[in-house]
A and B are shown apart, each in its own frame.
Chain A
């Protein structure tokens, strides 16, 4: 297992609500990326943080936002939840070399 942790494990929200997901980085990793994985699909890149700044963003609307903290942990915030936001949300951490990335266990979000 990697040293990457995520919380919560599961979450059920209602359409229109807001949600915050958390990720703690593996020791020595200073880069964190967030991915969304719908059922039967590969993970889709949301955005990446390096040294507390956003370092690339995928094709996701602005209601998806994030933060990285000085200890390299990170948050993903999603506002105005939609039914299509139901998915497994994964964070992956790595070093500044941007090569290998290691995933946390994920947060399963269900929007009803």
Chain B
């Protein structure tokens, strides 16, 4: 059973600060990693995908992957109140019948206060 663990939160940061969200995963051969944002009462929205070690930047979001440490993170720069949501880390199972299955962490609730 693959496990995905996220820092428990909730996380609260002031507007304009950097929010740092962390995730570890148990299956060393995982290849695809995703961050989803979920507003209260809504469905998850894909905001970042990363497949290779290193950093991937998209606007105010930076995903970081370290496969040796089985660690993936999301940094949100210049945080805005509209970033307040639950952030879900997901790992893609890529062996046998689990190909394409996403394993999710429980999510970290982020609040950005003005």
For chains A and B in complex, what number of residue pairs have CB atoms within 8 angstroms?
67
Give Cα A88–Cα B42 distance, bound, in whole angstroms: 9
A57→B107 contact, CB < 8 A: no
A56→B97 contact, CB < 8 A: yes
Residues of A contacting B46 with CB < 8 Å?
A: 100-103
B100→A33 contact, CB < 8 A: yes
**Interface set, chain B 89-103, CB cutoff 8 A to A:** 90, 92, 94, 97-103
The reply to whether the CB of B32 lies closer than 8 angstroms to some CB of chain A is yes
B100→A98 contact, CB < 8 A: yes
Task: Given A55-B97, A55-B100, answer yes or no on A99-B49 (Cβ-Cβ < 8 Å).
Answer: yes
Residues of B contacting A35 with CB < 8 Å?
A: 102
Total count of chain A residues near the partner, CB < 8 A: 28
Give Cα A106–Cα B104 distance, bound, in whole angstroms: 17
Q: Which residue of chain B lies nearest to A96 when distances are taken between CB atoms in the complex? A: B100
Give Cα A40–Cα B8 distance, bound, in whole angstroms: 12
Of all A-B residue pairs in the complex, the 3 with the closest CB atoms, nearest first, are: A42-B104, A98-B100, A56-B97
Q: What residues make up the interface of A, taking CB atoms closer than 8 Å to B? A: 31, 33, 35, 40-45, 48, 50, 55-58, 88, 90, 92, 94, 98-106
| Sample (25) of A-B pairs whose CB atoms are under 8 Å apart | A33-B101, A33-B102, A42-B90, A42-B105, A43-B102, A44-B104, A45-B103, A55-B100, A56-B97, A56-B98, A56-B100, A88-B43, A90-B43, A92-B102, A98-B94, A99-B92, A100-B46, A100-B49, A101-B46, A101-B102, A103-B36, A103-B43, A103-B45, A104-B43, A105-B42
